[in-house]
A and B are shown apart, each in its own frame.
Chain A
């Protein structure tokens, strides 16, 4: 079965610093991969998605992710973090009938 692993439960970065959230997937073929963000009062929001093609995908709010088949990874990056980016981030894989979420990484931003 398809699955994703987020090894970091909690990450703290300073505002203005760069960010990388790790995600590893488990699937033989090319998976469909997503990053969602969950903020209090905002619900779950899709940041970006990867189906095939270019391995570097751009998303909303200045986020990007890179698909690396050799490392089975789909890490989320942002060059400069803003205080409003503090939230829970989920790496997600999908099939035709459902999404499978990772356990999430909580991002804390210090001023």
Chain B
């Protein structure tokens, strides 16, 4: 079975631009969570979606938004990019609407110049 997949693998954007990151969960998983991992730090929670509804939101500005589609895949959007948004963005999926058994994808490395 395929694991969590994320696209693209790497991305370079300029300050002020907008970016969309994509995630496909493990087949049968209905919950998707997004995390930001800045170099040298642990991942920070951004959003959790379950059955297409937002179930949790971390301490991130409104420039960050997400959505989940009927097939349970998800997109993370970041507007008005700042240099500080440069990070590894991780997607995780789980079977139930809770984080206890989360399976992580390889991440998307975003560089903002």
Contacts and interface: CB of A to CB of B under 8 A. Distances in A.
B99 A95 contact: yes
Given A46-B101, A49-B100, A94-B99, A99 B107 contact: no
B24 interface: no
Given A43-B107, A44-B90, A96 B98 contact: yes
Interface in B54-99: 55-56, 58, 90, 92, 98-99
A97 B98 CA distance: 6
A97 B48 CA distance: 7
Contacts of A58: none
Contacts of B41: 103-104
Contacts of B7: none
Interface in A70-111: 90, 92, 94-104
The size bracket of the interface on B is 20 to 34
B56 A97 contact: yes
A46 B43 contact: no
Secondary structure dominating the interface of A: strand
A43 B48 CA distance: 19
A101 B100 contact: no
Given A43-B105, A46-B101, A98 B48 contact: yes
Interface of A: 32, 41, 43-46, 49, 51, 90, 92, 94-104
Given A94-B99, A97-B98, 19 more contacts: A43-B106, A44-B90, A44-B92, A45-B104, A46-B101, A49-B101, A51-B100, A94-B98, A94-B100, A96-B98, A97-B55, A97-B56, A98-B45, A99-B35, A99-B43, A100-B45, A101-B35, A102-B42, A104-B42
